[in-house]
Structure 1
Amino acid sequence: MTDWAQLPEVPQAEELMETKPPQLPILDKTSTGTKLEYLATQYRLHRYAATEVLRRAIVQYRRKLAEFDIEHVRVYRGVRPPPPPPRRSLGRPSSTDNPLQVRASGYVVGRQGVACRLAFSAPENATDQQRLGKPEDLTPGSLVVLSPHEDDFKTKCLVGTVAPIPEDPEEEPPPTSVVDLYWADAADAVVDPTLKLVMLEPTAGYFESLRHTMTGLQQAALSEHRIDKYLYEPFTEIKSPQYLKEMPENKPFYPERVRELDDSQMEALKMATSQELAIIQGPPGTGKTFTSIMVIETIIKTLKLCQMGVLEGPKQSMAPIIVAAQTNHAVDQILLKCKELGIGTIARLGGRSENETIKECGLINLRQRCGAFKPDGTEELEHRNLQRQISSALRNRSSAVSLLKAEQLYDFGVISEDQYQSLVQDNEWETGETDSKAKNAPCAMTRWLDEYTQQPDFQRARQNHTAEAQSDSPSLRRKLKSQKFHSMQADHLQSVLRIMHQDADGTWSAKAKHLLANSNDLYEIKPADRGAVYDYLHEKLEALLADQIRELISYVNNNLKLMRVARRTNELKAIRRERVKILGCTTTGLLKHRDLLERLSPRVLLVEEAAETREANVAAALTPSIEQLILIGDHQQLTPNADLMELCKDPHRLDISLFERFVNRKVDYCSLRVQRRMISELREVVEVFYPGLQDHETVKSPERRKPIPGMQGCHLWWFQHSWNQERGLSGLSYANPQEARMIVEFTRYLVQRGVSPHEISILTYYSSQRELIKRELAMDDILGNADILGAGTLEWSVRTIDDFQGEENEIIILSLVRGPDADGQRARPGFVANENRAVVATSRARRGFYIFGNAQNLLQGRSRQVWEKVLKAFGARTGRHMPVTCSTHGTEGRVTYPADWRNFSPSGCSARCLEQRIKSQVIQTGEQTKSQKRARQVGINTLVRTAPRSTSPVNRAPYSTSSVSRAAYSTSPDSRASHSPEPSTALEPQKVPFKTSSTKSGSTMTTTTTTTTTAQERIPDRYTSEEILQKGMRTMFAGRDNEHEASERAMSATSGPTDSSRDSELEDLIRF
């Protein structure tokens, strides 16, 4: 076995303290060499990715203690760093400096091992905001390094991993104010709670994933499997899987549902069920997931027939098919569909599922449901016993920090039996006697030290200590002179010990050791020398106690490993007892649970999102029992994520998946060709990346893909601008505030036009832009109010491109962000130039796709070859405006700036569309507005004038309101001024007073008569409240052509406000 296969799972201090980087091997994508050479190369590249950031950080930290500027690293040092320079270099991310102090506060026993609980506190010179800071950014599973504050990585480096979030719901995570840490080496465990530590945490990469990849590669080197010949040897033929030889005519059994597949899907199904190695490419929207499910169902039915013994041969229990994907979302999606279709019993590895149905199928719940294998409590009792042992050892250490006890020194062998007896011979209290005199007597060590503190030469003894002791406070020195040692307060005890422990050159330690070795009776030691002897005893006991704790941690960790093996056995039994046919997990879970999978002996491994999965993850997951490997994905979409950009370049290229390597080697693969996601207009854009992509009949149906309201029939549009980009708050990302504002206003417009918030997804390339848009949405009076929108708990879908692969929505809004800097210089395209991301970004929409971005910026440099063909596909559907249309009038308009949206009514028209505005106002407030009340009043009076007169009330539940006389509609200014009734919104029937007025001697006289029939009661029964409102609005509009004039006249007739007040109110309605 080669040395790489023996390296520890977590890097050691020596590896991270190296001043020079390791020599990296070259990964040849055309010829892998032998299996061991291939595995070794993959291992060393991943080891480099896991350690290089911290190795560089330690080197830089030693050189730049005052600068705190370390690339990709967060520094916890307990001091405030100096302010950063005014502007950091573009494209070079720097460290995040955290002023929190770090200390080891204790230890806890979890199911993964003994964890050191780190406590964080702000230093004295921290700001108020920094004092409220918490270590919330520490990523569970990440690798960190620590060093004593006074050492600063000169000689000491302590390596640990942040405890991952527990998958078992019975195991509670630590509080947010602390962090649990697993030491890489138990010998490094910090047991001194007063020791200040400096900590470095990488902000790039994810060690938890890499560690499982590395251990999987080491395990893969121990065995052979049938797929080896395709990975490590040249081949021209792909054989059929072994299980097909157990079937009649060596053919799989296809279920009835395969009739739903199109020709390309059927071709893919045949390949996936007849070859040991199958590669299926699925362009966006072509049904990769459904094809995968049909493959799973076919293989399960075929394996069942094999198990039943259709042909003579060995009959063995059916192992589950292993289904893996890069993301939890994809795993859950496949398993949920399999469960809905009743294909077979499913189980889920890992605890990160977000679907409640799939959570019920989790391994933990499966184990709990399996009554025969419930734990008998032995494991829990053992767990508590181990916790008690750790706690007892820590208490012993804590007591030793205060005042030493003679018995404790004797028990740990620090002093001999004769020396112990010399201390306790006159102290029955020390030996356990119970008389009152013994109980009140001072302990042996106290009495022995009292003689030392009372000696006249005590001050001379202090002068032999280092200069630091001389700087102690005068009050402490006075206490030392005036008080006996045993009577000193506890808060001063630590100070006394600190003074006594000063020994810069080791002289006192050597003398104390000599005195102790030659004195069986400790009282023979001169009182003036006893302080040095005490120091020596204290240090020796502390070291012994620390070693005891570290040995106990190592013992507990080993014991917990045995407990995990037993737990795995129960999980194995539960899976078999439940007859699980489909076992799902992420590609990281494949390696994390590799020991369990190997014991299950699966025959088939299907990997979804295979083109996004690291090559090493797939290679390391192949256990000896695997007979068939099925890779389903799309190498033209997102590629594997390498933690260091240098590893994405030649000659390493960790961003190339095993899927893509096979495609590049011209291995036969099948590509799906019929898409069922987007309308034809949107497919034309995606087709520039996938020539020959076809539409399914379902996307051509107007009923299934309705137009986007208010967009002039435009399902596709590129809004161009030249707004400036800005650096995000972190300095590591970009944002474009004007573009973000334009997108939020456009989103508001769509919602006002009736589009559901859940039908809109906003995508961007940069996290800073994502956060900016989310803030803008939350601050908007409509878009941030779930009650107004009636959407329940409103969570807007604002995502990065990388986070949205595999998902889709009705409307996609894409924010490109990049534009000129504030100084006018063209921005480099960065992520936006990546074609794989462009494919994902342009292929998520079903009905509407709208891009916001600076096209001219993208048509320069290396991004041109990607975005020029996209822009050509848009054709004339682009410009420096957004096209809008009014559904009421059919008029068209243009929006150029964010503020322009507020000049348009929600219907998409700059005219005063009162009907639409009133409806939108109701959406906003849930209440009747003044305009709505006036419209209802006009409607009632219009209907009253046309309804037959009746003296008897109509037997119905009327909408009661004040009635306006016919004179109220007079064009006479005097009439309008005199008759301005206030509308009533009461729902109970009421008598309505009719007012008549006459003018006499310049005054107005009003007489009131009461009628027995309300205006509402004279309206025919067939009119509903909504119809009354609509009637009033139509009357007020009086036709499309003179709508503005008619509405002005109608409103002035009902209430008579001034022109300025009417305009103000309508503007408020427009803007609401």
Structure 2
Amino acid sequence: MAVYKGNFYRAVDSILQSIKKNLFKELPFKEYILFGKNSFIEQPKYLQKASEYTIDSFKFKPCDFNTWPPKEYFQLNAEQYLALQHLVTNELALLTGYPGSGKTHVILKFINLLLQNKQIWHQHNSGPILLLAFTNQSLDNFMEKILPLTDSLVRIGTQTKSEKLKNSAKLNVSRVSLDIRKKINNIADEINKVAKEAQAIFKNGGLISIVYLGITTISNQDIYDKLMGNNETERIVLMNEILGLEEYPLTDVNSVCSPIYYVTVSDLQARHDRNSIYLQWRLAHKEAHKKFYPRNDVDFDNIQNLSGNKLWGLYFYLVDRYVNQLKEKLNIMEEQKRILRDSLTEEENIENSKELKQKMIVGLTFSGAAFRKSTIDALDSSIVIVEETSHIEHYHVLGTIPKSCKHLILIGDNRVSEINNYSLVDILSEYKYPFKSLKKQFRMKSEIAFLLKTLFYPEMVNDESVEKISSVPGIPKPIFFINHCLENDGEETINWNRVVNLYEIEYLVQLAKFLLSKNVSAESITILTITKYQALEFDKFKENDETLQKIKSWSIDKFQSLENDIILLSLFGINEYYRSFLTKETRLRVALSRSKQGFYLIGNMEKLCKQCEIWVPIKELLEEKGYIGNALPISCSSHVGKECGFIEKPEDFSNLKSHFLTCSLENLTINN
């Protein structure tokens, strides 16, 4: 069973409702997905036997492989070429592959083929190619790569950070939609206000002002005096009447600050008022007071004549009544908001579908698609491409696919997914559904890929081209773990919920500057962190140093589907709070597979191994290859690829500029 909370539930709710209503009735490809058909796969419905594709000037029949141009025509290797044929000719096509194996490259060739032959599939009022991605960053990355193929695309959603996609991410919004959005925001503000009132009452921290309880015949001070009683003896009698006990236990009362209260326990305690203990006792035994006041119409004119436990009983009765009124008010406003949201969805569906249908490609995240389910259905897209299918629950994909889909492309990882529920890749694999898998990686130097190959992908093959990837200037090893054993792991608390490791950030900043001094471009360096707070600390260094401006920093979760030549990774953050962060293979695979030329990590390996068992074999592999130590080896210009010196601390980089560090091989000065 899937459980969602907060805003994400609202996004997925429409998907769950869609599945509930139409799963068996309108789900495309249900014979494969639900009933396990794994043979005689149909070709896309828009393809006919006589259909003819043209790629540049070469004409061929997509369903007749004998007429296809050779793989060199598409700039593909043998397995990528077979994968492209699989995508073109199967109405439900699944493509998996190892990191760097060229999945995106194949998909781009597929999209280019479709764009050059739009007359085949973009007909009879058929909509654009629909591209769905797991994260905003992966969507941006994919669509940026499509831009050279066509400018007829729209990136739906406001979360894009791509300057290249800013123009394509804008849609016209009608005045009707703006008015509805304004009403929704006003109701949301009112809901928030009422919810805060209810939350303050539930804290049970004091006496609520009589204005909120509907009392106008007596003042707040008068009712406060009557509730507190005349003297200590009277109080004890009243308390005994409630519980008949000699001891009067207190329960914790939350400190609360809200205009709804006339006086709070914390206010009285701050003034050293002895009434604080009595009030706290009364609030702690709220339920016991209810027997002293009958639950019928309140005679407000008679309140002056009530006292003691009867008055307390009336007070708690009025509080309960007010809470029920708030609940009813919240329900009414939530229903009003739901109706407005439905109206907004319908209006956006009308205004957006007209514009979007004219485009060749429309892309959005799954969360965005969930919010815009009716718009997606109205596009009438016949071709749907799903990125990172392994990371997405199967029902989320099923509920998002429009019923107009005639060709579904699923892209996933070769590893079994780690989400709580099955992905479509898992389900189709269990059905032994035919798919194509790419096993040859082109991205990373073989020394970097060895961790992935050993730990996760034993069948991964390095293409011969990776041996030609240039080495990182000034560093003889393409991968290295800088191990430190600082007291308290070098933690520094910035504020109560923000703990960072400035040592690791400073080390990576100095390392980045060292690389820049070796004529490495800033755009080819990326700093990755476990927590966003570490990344924000690096941004502070950037503000004060122009040389770092073009170096980007990301948390690992935000860097999925991206890559760069050199990755610098701070592993601080795998503590009690983030204990499980890199125990999940998906995150670890992302961290280990993003770099092409150089991958340099810094962290406390002893602590990592204690908190995450998966780091024990990583440590052993790094030690076996000599890729771990307390100091980073560097080389001088006279001994490229040789270990001429070592950088243990951030300040050691400064010694290079001062000529204090010398070449251990020939006593030559290592400088920048």
Question: Is TM > 0.5 for Structure 1 vs Structure 2?
Answer: yes
Q: 1:834-885: CA deviations, max 9, x gaps?
A: 665554333322222345579999799876766766776x5x6676654322
Residue 366 in structure 1 maps to residue 168 in structure 2: no
Q: State the partner residue of 1:693.
A: 461
Return closer, same or farther for 1:514/1:908 CA change in 2, 3 Å cut-off: closer
**1:571-610 → structure 2 map (5 Å cutoff):** 571-578=348-355, 579-610=358-389
Return closer, same or farther for 1:465/1:331 CA change in 2, 3 Å cut-off: farther
Q: Check conservation: 1:673, 1:693, Cα contact below 8 A.
A: yes
Q: 1:508-545: CA deviations, max 9, x gaps?
A: 534x96996xxxxx99x797469999888877777666
Residue 559 in structure 1 maps to residue 336 in structure 2: yes
Return closer, same or farther for 1:839/1:469 CA change in 2, 3 Å cut-off: same
- The whole-number CA distance in structure 1 between the counterparts of 2:20 and 2:380 is 19
Q: Check conservation: 2:184, 2:341, Cα contact below 8 A.
A: no
Q: State the partner residue of 2:473.
A: 709
- The whole-number CA distance in structure 2 between the counterparts of 1:256 and 1:211 is 47
Q: 1:705-741: CA deviations, max 9, x gaps?
A: 5542223xx2524357584796778999999998777
SS at match of 1:237: coil
Q: Check conservation: 1:723, 1:736, Cα contact below 8 A.
A: no
Residue 668 in structure 1 maps to residue 434 in structure 2: yes
Q: Check conservation: 1:609, 1:634, Cα contact below 8 A.
A: yes
Return closer, same or farther for 1:256/1:843 CA change in 2, 3 Å cut-off: farther
Q: State the partner residue of 1:997.
A: none
Q: Check conservation: 2:38, 2:432, Cα contact below 8 A.
A: no
Q: 1:470-527: CA deviations, max 9, x gaps?
A: 9xxxxxxxxxxxxxxxxxxx989x999x9999996557534x96996xxxxx99x797
Q: Shift in Å at residue 249 of structure 1? A: 2.0
**1:221-370 → structure 2 map (5 Å cutoff):** 221=23, 223-245=25-47, 247=48, 249-250=50-51, 254=55, 259-263=73-77, 264-299=79-114, 302=117, 304-308=119-123, 315=124, 317-342=125-150, 344-348=152-156, 350-362=157-169, 365-368=170-173
- The whole-number CA distance in structure 1 between the counterparts of 2:324 and 2:76 is 68
- Specify which of 787, 797, 805 is matched with residue 553 of structure 2: 797
Q: Shift in Å at residue 623 of structure 1? A: 4.2
Q: Shift in Å at residue 358 of structure 1? A: 3.4
SS at match of 1:333: helix
SS at match of 1:761: strand
| Residue identity opposite 1:262 in structure 2 | L
| Residue identity opposite 1:671 in structure 2 | S
Q: Shift in Å at residue 280 of structure 1? A: 0.9
Q: Check conservation: 1:613, 1:640, Cα contact below 8 A.
A: no
**1:388-403 → structure 2 map (5 Å cutoff):** 400-401=211-212
Q: Check conservation: 1:268, 1:670, Cα contact below 8 A.
A: yes
**1:202-221 → structure 2 map (5 Å cutoff):** 214-215=16-17, 217-221=19-23
- The whole-number CA distance in structure 1 between the counterparts of 2:287 and 2:452 is 75
SS at match of 1:346: strand
- The whole-number CA distance in structure 2 between the counterparts of 1:325 and 1:404 is 56
Return closer, same or farther for 1:571/1:359 CA change in 2, 3 Å cut-off: farther
SS at match of 2:25: coil
Higher relative contact order (CA 8 A, sep 6+): 2
Q: State the partner residue of 1:434.
A: none
- The whole-number CA distance in structure 2 between the counterparts of 1:815 and 1:515 is 65
Q: Check conservation: 1:332, 1:355, Cα contact below 8 A.
A: yes
Q: 1:63-99: CA deviations, max 9, x gaps?
A: xxxxxxxxxxxxxxxxxxxxxxxxxxxxxxxxxxxxx
SS at match of 2:644: strand
Q: Which has the larger radius of gyration?
A: 1
SS at match of 2:473: coil
- Specify which of 492, 513, 525 is matched with residue 760 of structure 1: 525
Q: Check conservation: 1:277, 1:628, Cα contact below 8 A.
A: yes
- The whole-number CA distance in structure 2 between the counterparts of 1:379 and 1:880 is 56
Q: State the partner residue of 1:509.
A: 293
Q: Check conservation: 2:390, 2:423, Cα contact below 8 A.
A: yes
**1:436-451 → structure 2 map (5 Å cutoff):** 445=217
Q: Check conservation: 1:323, 1:606, Cα contact below 8 A.
A: yes
- The whole-number CA distance in structure 2 between the counterparts of 1:539 and 1:752 is 72
SS at match of 1:790: helix
Q: Check conservation: 2:472, 2:597, Cα contact below 8 A.
A: yes
- The whole-number CA distance in structure 2 between the counterparts of 1:858 and 1:796 is 29
Q: Shift in Å at residue 271 of structure 1? A: 1.3
| Residue identity opposite 1:895 in structure 2 | F
Residue 846 in structure 1 maps to residue 602 in structure 2: no
SS at match of 1:575: helix
| Residue identity opposite 2:31 in structure 1 | K
SS at match of 2:46: helix
Q: State the partner residue of 1:168.
A: none
SS at match of 1:841: helix
**1:42-441 → structure 2 map (5 Å cutoff):** 44=1, 46-47=2-3, 50=4, 143=5, 161=6, 164=7, 214-215=16-17, 217-221=19-23, 223-245=25-47, 247=48, 249-250=50-51, 254=55, 259-263=73-77, 264-299=79-114, 302=117, 304-308=119-123, 315=124, 317-342=125-150, 344-348=152-156, 350-362=157-169, 365-368=170-173, 374-375=176-177, 377=179, 380=182, 400-401=211-212, 404-405=215-216
Q: Check conservation: 1:390, 1:549, Cα contact below 8 A.
A: no
Aligned residues: 595
Q: Shift in Å at residue 811 of structure 1? A: 1.4
Q: CA RMSD in A?
A: 5.7
Q: Shift in Å at residue 277 of structure 1? A: 1.5
Q: State the partner residue of 2:514.
A: 749
| Residue identity opposite 2:133 in structure 1 | A
Q: Shift in Å at residue 786 of structure 1? A: 4.9
Q: Check conservation: 1:272, 1:630, Cα contact below 8 A.
A: yes
Q: Check conservation: 2:522, 2:548, Cα contact below 8 A.
A: yes
Residue 631 in structure 1 maps to residue 410 in structure 2: yes
TM-score by length of 2: 0.68
| Residue identity opposite 2:634 in structure 1 | V
- The whole-number CA distance in structure 2 between the counterparts of 1:1043 and 1:718 is 24
- The whole-number CA distance in structure 1 between the counterparts of 2:605 and 2:189 is 62
| Residue identity opposite 2:553 in structure 1 | S
Q: Check conservation: 1:740, 1:815, Cα contact below 8 A.
A: yes
Q: 1:544-564: CA deviations, max 9, x gaps?
A: 665555444333332332222
- The whole-number CA distance in structure 2 between the counterparts of 1:870 and 1:560 is 56
Q: Check conservation: 1:752, 1:906, Cα contact below 8 A.
A: no
Q: Shift in Å at residue 327 of structure 1? A: 1.1
SS at match of 2:39: coil
Q: Check conservation: 1:238, 1:276, Cα contact below 8 A.
A: no
Q: Which runs of 5+ in 2 are unaligned?
A: 59-70, 198-207, 243-261, 269-274
| Residue identity opposite 2:104 in structure 1 | T
Q: Shift in Å at residue 607 of structure 1? A: 0.8
Q: Which runs of 5+ in 1 are unaligned?
A: 1-43, 51-142, 144-160, 165-205, 309-314, 406-444, 471-489, 517-521, 643-653, 822-828, 913-1040, 1045-1068
Return closer, same or farther for 1:279/1:706 CA change in 2, 3 Å cut-off: same
Q: Shift in Å at residue 278 of structure 1? A: 0.8
Q: Shift in Å at residue 270 of structure 1? A: 1.9
Instruction: Tell me the percent identity.
Output: 19
- The whole-number CA distance in structure 1 between the counterparts of 2:327 and 2:571 is 53
- Specify which of 796, 810, 813 is matched with residue 565 of structure 2: 810
Q: Check conservation: 1:608, 1:632, Cα contact below 8 A.
A: yes
- The whole-number CA distance in structure 1 between the counterparts of 2:427 and 2:441 is 25
Q: State the partner residue of 2:393.
A: 614
